[in-house]
Amino acid sequence: METTDISIPDLPDWMRQARRGIDWGLLLTIALCLIAGWSFLFNPELPHTNASENYVYRTDDYATSILEGWLYPRWSPNALGGYGAPIPHYYPPGATYFAAILHVLFTGEAVVAVRLAYIIGLVIAGVFTYSLVAQRTGSTAGVLAAMLYIYSPYVGLVVPHVLGDLPGLIALALLPVLLWSLDRLLMWNHPADVLFVTLTSASLWLTHPPVMVMGLFLCAVLIIWNRQFDKRHIRWHLVIIGLLLGVGCAGFYWIPAWLEQGDIQWQTVTTISLPKLSLNELFTPLQQLDTNEMVASPQFTLGIISLVFAIGSVGYMLRYHLKINFQIFFLVFGAVLTLVAALIFPTEIWLLGVVMLCLAIGGSQIMAIRFHLPRRWRRLVLPALMIVIWISASPVWLVPQATEAFGGTDAAVQVQYEQRGYGVAVLPQGMLLPSPLRENIPLNRFLIDSFQSRSINKLAPGQVTPNVQISPLIHFTHGDRFLLRRVATPATLHILTSYFPGWTASINSRPVPLSQDPATGLMVADVPINLTGNAELLIAMDTTPLRTGAWLVAGASLLITVIISWGRWGQKTIIAETKLLTVAEVRLAVVPVACFVVILLVFTQPQFPLSLRTRPGSGLNGSVIIQNRTDVGLGMTGFRLDSNQHHPGETVYLTLYWQAQRFLTENYRVQVNLINNRDGQIGAEVLLRHPGYYPTSRWNTRQYVTDRYMLELSPSTTAGNYQIAVTVYNTANQPLTFFDATGQTLGATLTLPTLVSINP
């Protein structure tokens, strides 16, 4: 009998797909990502010391709105002392909306939903970094690239655990998805690839627009590689259509947010010190977080292991005289972006996440060294490199655990959060507040008390008279219902809600005029009819012509994307022939994974005698220890001065370390001055602010707070010796009194025991 050989390209798609077998590298990557997010898996709480707290509150607001029927929330009802503000309207909703969907469908609790969102974000970031590199160079390099990305200092530690930046992590997870989908379109041109590009780019616009802008640059890098080095034909029309339709699909958010800027005023609620990237810090080793530090200090470093792998990849290419390949091309772009970020855009710290992706892709080139080893040793390269990464990235998986219960997230808690001077509950520290109110409008004590009693009443006091009888029925996130029992004469009702375009009023489904009080910015509803029976007044957030048009743009873009993908569905496709991990390679890799899980469960416990965690208080190493306290229980335990020698025009970097000896009832503020010893002139000063940018009434007595200052010297600063003077004020702007360790009074100003010399 004769047999006919059938070539692989002639096989049906399902046969070619089945030939590939199980993608063990993908499963291994998922396991590595879950290990990286183990603290979110096993710790039931989230800290109150970073922005995760604010995203938990916003997630709860979103979920409540969705359950009430507002599928796309545009209003934060508990901000501004209960008046409300259009925070979701102006800030990208993607990450928090994703957490809210998890809350509604699965968890029923905002804290658990945000934890789950972090875990899913880490998994997506790792899986698609793996897929991007694997479809180019094989599964072993893909696993290594994913691990370098997930366990990098910025992605694995700073964003989720130190900053609590949920949108930042989700954006860094979507970035490799965008590159993967575009690379599929360039390489394989499957029918759904345009849909993938469109949906991913739209998701990035809805989550973190600056990251999406940088994503376009990475897309350009990928296209240049395919065109100039891979000599691949670029389907320009599909690339441009996919990216443009992504902008259109996100139009329901950005079009109204952009065109309705004139309806609000951007207000500063809380101030923070903008973190900056510096070349020196980028090349320093990553240190473990100190469990005794209340607000963790971010470390903006590339990590030693990322640099070692990057340098090793370049060395490998030069040693074997290889041409620039896919990985090295991204590595070069990452090196250039590092310099641009540190020297030109130092405050754009999110660029560090993009750099880490480029370094992870480029560093995976080192995996090719296994081909120059004896065959029996080749399978050991991946497990060995995994162990090296785990050891170098120990601060990533040895993060301190939140031990205090998060508490409630309801409206009363959010209003109380603001009343205590912590900021706006749903807005991370330092972000501007889009306020429809006039400046300096006083908060309404009646409204605040109604929130605390859980019986929210948005009617301004004094409006119930014999001629106008009205009472609240129900309050919800995007509106209120009132019962009108009698309106003898036309009435004007003052509603304690910020006015914003889209709010409407109706009585028994009949529209009535609703306007903005020009003096306050609150709502005014006119009831021009006489009522003798009961009626219902509904005030609710509705749409506007602009927002309706934006939804039409988004819907049309999505429809066009689906039509294009559907029209391409019958075309001949190419099945990716990725070199997958063998079962033998996976077995070897599983051994260190299993051992590492045991280490996580046993040797990371603080009470374990051989715990891998550093000694509590290690963050104070190298500081000058002092024991000065104030008359209210606020004490300074030490300080650190980076250098005592400076010149005019430079910056003096000072760090103070504070601790509360007892619970502090007020939010004290600190002022730091640099004073000339000779004439008492002030050489530099930092105005009043919360020490460590964390309100003192939130401090506990177990941990210290790191308080960093940058004293900017003027070019005309007089040369001489200067002292650093620290003054602490209470809420009445009265200075506190300092005492030394023996109880001797030091006065209202604490002079640090060091000199700063300003040289001409």
Q: Tell me the average pLDDT across 312-316.
A: 93
- What radius of gyration, in Å, describes the C-alpha atoms of the chain? 30
Q: Is the pTM of this model over 0.85?
A: yes
Q: Are 159 and 353 in contact (CB under 8 A)?
A: yes
Taking each helix axis from N to C terminus, what angle separates 351-363 and 209-224, rounded to the nearest 10 degrees?
Answer: 30
Amino acid at 586: V
Q: What is the mean pLDDT of the chain?
A: 92
Whether 707 shows a pLDDT value over 90: the answer reads yes
Q: Helix, strand, or coil here: 623? A: coil
Whether 606 shows a pLDDT value over 70: the answer reads no
* Percentages of the chain per state (helix, strand, coil), in multiples of 5: 45, 20, 35
* Other Cβ atoms within 10 Å of 418 Cβ, number: 21
pLDDT at 579: 82
pLDDT at 603: 74
pLDDT at 20: 60
State the DSSP code for 731. T
**Nearest in space to 163 (alpha carbons), one of 41, 15, 58, 53:** 53
* Sign of the CA dihedral with 130 first, then 134, 136, and 141 last: positive
Q: Are 425 and 81 in contact (CB under 8 A)?
A: no
More confident residue, 88 or 491: 88
Stretch among 29-43, 605-619, 724-738 having the lowest mean pLDDT: 605-619
DSSP run (H or E) holding 585: helix 583-602
Q: Are 83 and 497 in contact (CB under 8 A)?
A: yes
pLDDT at 377: 87
Q: Helix, strand, or coil here: 74? A: coil
Alpha helix ranges (H) inside 344-481 = 351-363, 375-378, 381-392, 394-397, 411-419, 445-452
pLDDT at 3: 47
Q: Helix/strand/coil (H, E, C) string of 511-551?
A: EECEEECCCCCEEEEEECCCECCCEEEEEEECCCHHHHHHH
Location of structure tokens 């400076």: 646
In angstroms, the CA 515 to CA 523 distance is: 6
pLDDT confidence tier of residue 576, bands split at 50, 70 and 90: low
Q: How much of the chain exceeds pLDDT 90, in percent?
A: 77
Location of structure tokens 């390269």: 381
In angstroms, the CA 296 to CA 162 distance is: 6
* Tokens representing residue 81 in the block: 């002392």
Amino acid at 415: V
More confident residue, 277 or 230: 277
Q: Tell me the average pLDDT across 63-86.
A: 97
Sheet containing 468-476: order of strands: 468-476, 479-487, 535-541, 503-507, 510-512
**Nearest in space to 97 (alpha carbons), one of 21, 211, 230, 203:** 203
The 10s digit of each residue's pLDDT in 393-438 is: 999 999 988 888 999 999 999 999 999 999 999 999 999 999 999 8
The 10s digit of each residue's pLDDT in 104-140 is: 999 999 999 999 999 999 999 999 999 999 998 999 9
DSSP run (H or E) holding 746: strand 745-747
Q: How far is CA 720 from CA 231, 263, 265, 685, 726, in A?
A: 64, 51, 45, 16, 19
The 10s digit of each residue's pLDDT in 243-289 is: 999 999 999 999 999 999 999 999 999 888 888 999 999 999 999 99
| Domains of the chain in sequence order | 23-261+376-402+550-602 (no CATH), 445-542 (2.60.40), 622-758 (2.60.40.2550)
pLDDT at 211: 98
Q: Give the number of C-alpha atoms closer than 13 A to the C-alpha of residue 516, restricted to the C-beta side.
A: 15
Q: Are 333 and 221 in contact (CB under 8 A)?
A: yes
Q: Tell me the average pLDDT across 150-159.
A: 97
More confident residue, 527 or 354: 354
Residues facing residue 491 across a β-bridge: 527
**Nearest in space to 365 (alpha carbons), one of 408, 396, 323:** 323
Stretch among 133-142, 333-342, 465-474 having the lowest mean pLDDT: 465-474
Cα-Cα end-to-end distance for the chain:
98
pLDDT at 14: 47
* Tokens representing residue 562 in the block: 């689906």
